[in-house]
């Protein structure tokens, strides 16, 4: 199957749903176990896998290396798992499920103690920060290299090594305490914990937990149906995620007023801002006090972009009947640099959206994941007739059409999106020569600018 994967991915990219089904059938049990080991919940792991496969299909045109599809899929999976872990900050109760029984040659007491040790070690793994836990699962259960893990987690190899080192130190301490407890109960001297012994114990514990996940053909078929149903819903009702809404906000600065967004059918968000002529950088602190949070926005970035003006914004999320279900307050902060297009930084006190889409690249800055995307936008008049070719590109995620401009204009939009606690940030630039790393540097400076 591994040799067939690249061919199936290429067929899937062309819209072959049968190739997609083959990939789901092969990867479902594999990524389900990883999702479970990261999330610790059977129910959440099923949801995580479903979302992963939906994103796989919706972003199939963006898979640039079919031969590395497995790592691409695990990268998507880990992002979904982290999102679920953030959403359910309170850790789930540990499920009391273990793998196969040990051989009968061990004494009953030794078997009980072995199970106790495994239980305590798994509890310690569950208590690790989610990115440490992810590194441990990918390294000791999936047997991935540090380089592969760095690619999947969107960080440097040194960061992966640091997370593994810290995780081992925490787990070693837990295992030493459990060994002392077991030694006292059995009237034996506790055994020292070596790195080799610790790593073997981690691997056994994760494998034991993973073995509790048994996938039948009926389970696979049920997952296949749920994924296809979700894809139909997503295709029939394209939700506006925060990136697309903020890109349109940036376009307003470049193109002038845009009266409608979102392909003109159903409006999911409604927003407004109050342009204040005196909203200078000196007034930012005062405006932040009114909203009850700080943006950390600097006056000047190291690349020369300087604060030009700000605007307080209000945004509502609405259902199809126009009922407001969620609201947030925030800022749009415009930065200028001679000879370059403006950069817009939007900050919201809380997210209105449950999804952000699949990034083209990710960066890690002090434990915060930065999500970069580069997309082609076409801004068109309200009476514009979309061609079949444009519809096909929209369906494949290759083009985004927004209504309301006075003429057809094509723009390349770059976005860097991240969450810092409850706050949501996005840096947006239209037709700007900056690279993804340039935008990541700006994001890092903003994150580090604690006022």
pLDDT tens digits, one per residue of 104-143: 444 444 454 456 667 888 888 998 999 999 999 999 999 9
pLDDT at 287 over 90: no
pLDDT of residue 263: 38
Whether residue 114 sits in one domain with residue 248: no
Domain end marker among 231, 249, 264: 231
Whether residue 243 sits in one domain with residue 206: no
pLDDT of residue 193: 65
CA dihedral sign, ordered 98, 102, 107, 108: positive
Whether residue 259 sits in one domain with residue 219: no
The pLDDT tens digits of the residues spanning 298-340 come to 999 999 999 998 888 776 655 555 556 667 788 889 999 998 8
Whether residue 344 sits in one domain with residue 201: no
Whether residue 295 sits in one domain with residue 422: yes
Question: How far is residue 155's CA from residue 366's CA, in Å, rounded to a whole number?
Answer: 10
List Cα–Cα distances, 125 to 134, 199, 319, in angstroms: 10, 12, 40
Whether residue 180 sits in one domain with residue 322: no
Query: What number of CA atoms fall less than 13 Å from residue 262's CA on the CB side?
Result: 15
CA dihedral sign, ordered 130, 132, 133, 138: positive
Residue 267: CB partners within 8 Å, gap ≥ 6?
260, 261, 318, 322
Whether residue 259 sits in one domain with residue 340: yes
In terms of DSSP H, where are the helices of 137-156?
Answer: 146-153
Q: Does residue 73 sit in helix, strand or coil?
A: helix
Domain count, the chain: 2
Residue with tokens 């305590």: 120
| Report field, pTM of the whole predicted structure over 0.85 | no
Whether residue 364 sits in one domain with residue 336: yes
Pair 328, 315: CB distance under 8 Å: yes
Residue 272: φ, ψ to 5°:
-155, 155
Whether residue 248 sits in one domain with residue 162: no
Which range marks the domain in which residue 273 is found?
237-448
pLDDT of residue 85: 85
Residue with tokens 């990115």: 131
Pair 415, 400: CB distance under 8 Å: no
Whether residue 213 sits in one domain with residue 293: no
Domain end marker among 231, 260, 294: 231
pLDDT of residue 99: 39
Domain end marker among 231, 262, 279: 231
pLDDT at 248 over 60: no
Whether residue 245 sits in one domain with residue 175: no
21 burial level (CB within 10 Å; 0-12, 13-18, 19+) = middle
pLDDT at 415 over 70: yes
Whether residue 246 sits in one domain with residue 216: no
Mean pLDDT computed over every residue of the chain: 79
Pair 287, 331: CB distance under 8 Å: yes
Question: How far is residue 75's CA from residue 285's CA, in Å, rounded to a whole number?
Answer: 38
């Amino acid at each position: 199957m591994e040799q067939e994967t690249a061919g199936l991915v290429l067929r899937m990219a062309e819209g072959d749903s049968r190739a997609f089904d083959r990939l789901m059938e092969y990867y479902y049990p594999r990524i389900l176990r990883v999702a479970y080991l990261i999330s610790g919940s059977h129910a959440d792991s099923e949801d995580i896998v479903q979302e992963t496969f939906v994103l796989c299909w919706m972003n199939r045109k963006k898979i640039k290396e079919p031969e590395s599809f497995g790592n691409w899929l695990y990268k998507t999976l880990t992002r979904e798992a982290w999102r679920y872990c953030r959403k359910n900050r309170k850790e789930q109760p540990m499920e009391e499920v273990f793998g196969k029984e040990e051989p009968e040659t061990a004494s009953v007491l030794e078997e009980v103690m072995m199970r106790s040790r495994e239980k305590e070690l798994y509890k310690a793994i569950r208590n690790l920060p989610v990115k440490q836990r992810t590194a441990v699962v990918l390294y000791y259960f999936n047997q991935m290299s540090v380089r592969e893990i760095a690619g999947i987690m969107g960080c440097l190899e040194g960061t992966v090594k640091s997370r593994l080192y810290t995780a081992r130190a925490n787990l070693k301490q837990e295992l030493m305490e459990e060994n002392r407890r077991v030694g006292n109960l059995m009237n034996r001297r506790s055994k020292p914990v070596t790195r080799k012994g610790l790593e073997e114990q981690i691997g056994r514990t994760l494998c034991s937990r993973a073995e509790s996940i048994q996938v039948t053909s009926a389970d696979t078929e049920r997952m296949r149906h749920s994924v296809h149903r979700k894809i139909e819903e997503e295709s029939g009702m394209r939700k506006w995620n925060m990136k697309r809404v903020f890109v349109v906000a940036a376009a307003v600065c470049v193109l002038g007023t845009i009266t409608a967004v979102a392909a003109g059918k159903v409006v999911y968000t409604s927003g407004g801002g109050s342009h204040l002529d005196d909203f200078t950088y000196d007034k930012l602190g005062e405006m932040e006090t009114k909203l009850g949070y700080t943006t950390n926005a600097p006056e000047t970035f190291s690349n020369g972009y300087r604060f030009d003006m700000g605007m307080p914004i209000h945004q509502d999320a609405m259902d199809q009947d126009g009922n407001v279900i969620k609201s947030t307050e925030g800022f749009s902060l415009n930065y200028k640099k001679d000879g370059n297009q403006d950069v817009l930084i939007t900050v919201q006190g809380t997210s209105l959206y449950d999804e952000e889409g699949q990034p083209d690249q990710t960066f890690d800055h002090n434990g915060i994941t930065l999500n970069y995307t580069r997309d082609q936008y076409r801004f068109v008049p309200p009476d514009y007739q979309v061609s079949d070719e444009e519809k096909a590109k929209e369906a494949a995620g290759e083009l985004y059409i927004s209504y309301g401009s006075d003429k057809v204009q094509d723009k390349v939009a770059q976005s860097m999106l991240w969450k810092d606690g409850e706050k949501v940030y996005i840096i947006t630039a239209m037709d700007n020569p900056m690279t993804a790393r340039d935008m990541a540097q700006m994001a890092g400076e903003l994150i580090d600018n604690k006022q």
